[in-house]
Amino acid sequence: MHKRKQRIADAIIFTVLLVGGLTMLVPFLWMISTSFKEPGSLFDLPIQLWPHHLHWENYKRVLTAVPFGRWYLNSLIIALGLTFLNLTSGAMAGYAFARFRWKGKDAMFLLSLITLMIPAHVLIIPLFVILSKIGWIDTYYALILPGLFDAFAIFLMRQNFISLPRELEEAALIDGATPWQIYWKVALPLAAPALATLGTFTFLAGWNSFLWPLVATNSITMRPITVGLAVFNTQFSTEWTVLMAGLSLATIPPIIVFLAAQKYFIRGLTLGSLKG
């Protein structure tokens, strides 16, 4: 009787999760379907879930009417640059907060956490003024370097390094390893799941960023894809089919990054359950 109730409960949970997952896929499938429709058939009734004839002209237009390739490259450079800087600075600062003892460490860590409560929109004007004074507006420096230090990255890596067993680092210290060697060869490989998680979050944030690139860029060639595709959304009309074609192409890198890092998420969950 107990096993039967457990099977029923598992079936209900599976059904709920399946329905929820399929529901979340509806906007994505609608985006792809719209990208293949003819411009005039988007709002026809009854609604076509999938067009009878694939209209590839939408993809041709988004690739030729605007510098889509340059926007794509800009987004990749911004997202990868932010990811590299966040992983590097976040891991180093997190390890220093987790393992080293120095005066003012707790106050400095608390100060970094306080910065999480500051809305990002408040920093746009002073950041723009500073970068314009040094001539970095409309450059990759303005789009990447402001994300050099991130309090969330420091907090995430610190908590991960604290959870690692000290015995491994102490064994490496006895064998004559330097603090840098312990960090690079012992602590950092063990933090791979946390690094993958942080890297995925940072890449997605950099890829989807809109407001700051909109403020920090002037020329059309420096725009990332999120800002560039806004040209198809004007005050009087929106080219929905072409816009959806561009967005469909824009979702490819985030999906690849998530699939590549998925096994590290699973490994992190497995390690957590073993420790428990």
pLDDT tens digits, one per residue of 68-125? 999 999 999 999 999 999 999 999 999 999 998 888 888 999 999 898 888 888 889 9
Q: Peptide bond preceding 46: is omega within 30 degrees of 0, i.e. cis? A: yes
pLDDT at 125: 92
pLDDT at 272: 43
Read off the pLDDT of residues 141-172 as tens digits, 9 standing for 90 and up.
Answer: 999 999 888 899 999 899 889 988 888 888 88
Percentage, residues of the chain above pLDDT 90: 41
Query: Which numeric CATH code is attached to 59-275?
Result: 1.10.3720.10
- Mean model confidence pLDDT for the chain: 86
- CA 171-199-146 angle, 5° bins: 110
The model's confidence at residue 263, banded by pLDDT at 50, 70 and 90, is confident
Does position 1 have pLDDT exceeding 70, yes or no? no
The model's confidence at residue 236, banded by pLDDT at 50, 70 and 90, is low
> Are the CB atoms for 78 and 209 separated by under 8 Å?
yes
Alpha-carbon span 124 to 216, nearest angstrom: 9
As a whole number, mean pLDDT of residues 183-202 equals 90
The residues near 61 (Cβ < 8 Å, ≥ 6 apart) are 242, 245
Does position 276 have pLDDT exceeding 50, yes or no? no
For residue 171 the two structure tokens come to 């064994």
The model's confidence at residue 267, banded by pLDDT at 50, 70 and 90, is low
Number of Cβ atoms within 10 Å of the Cβ of 223:
24
> Are the CB atoms for 225 and 74 separated by under 8 Å?
yes
> Are the CB atoms for 95 and 179 separated by under 8 Å?
no
The model's confidence at residue 28, banded by pLDDT at 50, 70 and 90, is confident
> Are the CB atoms for 148 and 83 separated by under 8 Å?
no
Instruction: Say whether 237 sits in a helix, a strand or coil.
Output: coil
- Tracing tokens 């800087």 back to the chain, one arrives at 85
As a whole number, mean pLDDT of residues 39-48 equals 74
Does position 175 have pLDDT exceeding 60, yes or no? yes
pLDDT at 40: 73
For the chain, the farthest-separated pair of C-alpha atoms sits apart, in whole angstroms, at 75
pLDDT at 252: 93
Percentage, residues of the chain above pLDDT 70: 93
Q: What is the pTM of this model?
A: 0.86
Greater model confidence, 90 or 9: 90
Number of Cβ atoms within 10 Å of the Cβ of 196:
20
Burial of residue 207, with CB atoms counted within 10 A of its CB: 0-12 exposed, 13-18 middle, 19 or more buried: buried
